[in-house]
Amino acid sequence: MRILITDGMDKSAIAELKNKGHEVVEQFYSPEELGEALRGFDAVVIRSATKIRKAQLEEAKGSRLKLIIRGGVGVDNIDVADAEAMGIAVRNTPNASSNAVAELAIGLMFSCARYISIAGHTMRQGKWEKKAYSKGFELCGKTLGVIGYGRIGKRIGDIAQAIGMKVIAYQRHPKPEYECDTMRFAPLDELLASADIIALSTPSLGAPIINAENIEKMKDGVVIINTSRGANVDEDALLTALNSGKVRAAGLDVWAEEPTKNEALYTHLAVSCTPHTGASTTEAQKRIGSEIVSIIENF
């Protein structure tokens, strides 16, 4: 197969594909160039930066392209139905990055709870602001609300329970076997009203879950963590809530626009943030690469 890799991939996996006789091209294309470029490949491997929409698929229609692989969990940056209608298969790597994303979500919780991001920043400015950051809180004993309890959401919940948190989860199709003394499913409104910290772990649903209306349903001083999709948060509503104190802090790895231009949000003193690095661990990238090789070989 002739394979296009647009957003990077583990080098050992690329070497394995080449050793198996495939031709591999590493090249990023702009949206305007991508559709025509796809015509020259049997398969394309993308991550978050590349989006394959109907316009690109129409340009590639009738060509040799027959497989699109998303190196990650969600496939919302691919118009899946349009691809499949054209006979192009779509695959992803749902297992490989779950732990990496979950650990980052937990890390952002700790950062919000103990001012790790801003306190470290002020120290690098030569300041010693111990009193300003002496009123953190412990995660142990708090209630975590997880919106979306799939592979990543459940892993977040498992780690949270291990450090002494109680977990409430919202899932369209809950699995009762997951429930125990420290974890239960609940309707969304109950989760919003009960949780001390809310973590988003769901694909984009077309409209923000964290919007002004739902923020009003939350506890005063709630913490919001988003390692899912930027579109799940109304950034203006979140900024307003941070400024009013309704939301105590936010941990954000994903943004409505990437790279984000929302300076008011990413520079806010109550925001701990990262540039969409949820799956960016050495271990996760090796697992993703290995899974992509398996997908291609099986296909």
Q: Is 229 a catalytic residue?
A: yes
Q: Does the annotation mark 258 as catalytic?
A: yes
C-alpha span between 240 and 38 (Å, rounded): 43
Which residue in the list 32, 58, 258, 283 is annotated as catalytic?
258
Token pair for 28: 């990023």
Between the alpha carbon of residue 65 and those of residues 44, 45, 58, 126, the distances in Å are 8, 12, 11, 55
Q: Which of 229, 248, 268, 287 is catalytic?
A: 229
Closest residue by Cα to residue 147 from 191, 196, 101, 104: 191
CA dist 246 and 216 (Å) reads 8
**Number of neighbouring beta carbons within 10 Å of residue 101:** 26
CB neighbours of 263 closer than 8 A, spacing ≥ 6? none
Quote the crossing angle between the two packed helices 98-114 and 282-298, to the nearest 10°: 160
Told to judge if 276 belongs to the known catalytic residues of this protein, a careful annotator would answer yes
**Marked catalytic residue, from 91, 151, 276, 287:** 276
- Residue 177 carries which side chain, given as an amino acid letter? E
- For residues 132-141, b (16+ Cβ closer than 10 Å) or e, as one string? eeeeebebee
Catalytic residues: 229, 258, 276
